[in-house]
Amino acid sequence: MDGNALQRWLDSWVLEDASLTAARSRAAEVGVTCVDAVTGSTLRLLAAASGAKAVVELGTGAGVSGLWLLRGMRTDGILTTVDPETEHQRLAKQTLIEAGYGSGRVRLIAGRALEVLPRLSDGAYDLVFCDALPTENVHYLEAAMRLLRPGGLVVFAGALGDGRVADPSARDPETVALRELGRQVRDDERLVPALLPIGGGLLAAILS
């Protein structure tokens, strides 16, 4: 089976409901790239496995990844989602409300991640999901180490750069930053890491 056929099979294996379909449609209208269904289901799994109650998401998009995360979190959990684009947050709010997640479950913060993160509390979060600017990922990692409780998870979307990280000739700033992120996560003795070849690559690590 070729890679494209396998991806189509995986996409068909993970069933998305009307709320996620609507969110993807909104994302397409404004040109937002979302995590695929397989990545989304993995985020739900990680949130559920960690018993996540407090989650930070960098990159709200139109609410696709946020909806997957909320479906894995505890029923009393709160998702804090950060994005500089107010239109994206408006669409995400519409998505999440329609899916049954009111303002008591979601905190939307408009702003650049590196400006918002210093305002969040130390050791107060169970999971930090990063899907914002790849060139800032190493800074998100530094912030996540402060924000997470022991045993918390930091997760990065797009960590393989659609395969570019494995191409030695790819030296663009985004790819170089992704390689550096992977090296830092792999080599930090405080982290238990795994690099999953799903979607654009999902890099996850537990803070010991």
DSSP 121: P
Compute the distance between CA of residue 208 and CA of residue 201 in angstroms, rounded to an integer: 22
At 2 the pLDDT is 63
- What are the structure tokens assigned to 177, written together? 């930053």
pLDDT tens digits for range 60-112: 999 999 999 999 999 999 999 999 999 999 999 999 999 999 889 999 999 99
Instruction: Quote the pLDDT of residue 41.
Output: 96
Indicate the domain borders of the chain. Answer: 35-207
Element counts in the chain: helices (H) and strands (E): 8, 7
Report the phi/psi class of residue 118: left, alpha or beta, with left for phi > 0 and alpha for psi in -120 to 50: alpha
pLDDT tens column, 14-36 = 889 999 999 999 999 999 999 99
Q: In this predicted model, what pLDDT tens digit does every residue of 136-177 receive, in sequence order?
A: 999 999 999 999 999 999 999 999 998 999 999 999 999 999
Say if residues 111 and 124 touch (Cβ distance below 8 Å). Answer: no
Domain 35-207 has CATH 3.40.50.150: yes
C-alpha distance from residue 177 to each of 63, 78, 182, 204 (Å): 25, 30, 9, 16
Q: How many C-beta atoms surround the C-beta of residue 121 within 10 A?
A: 9
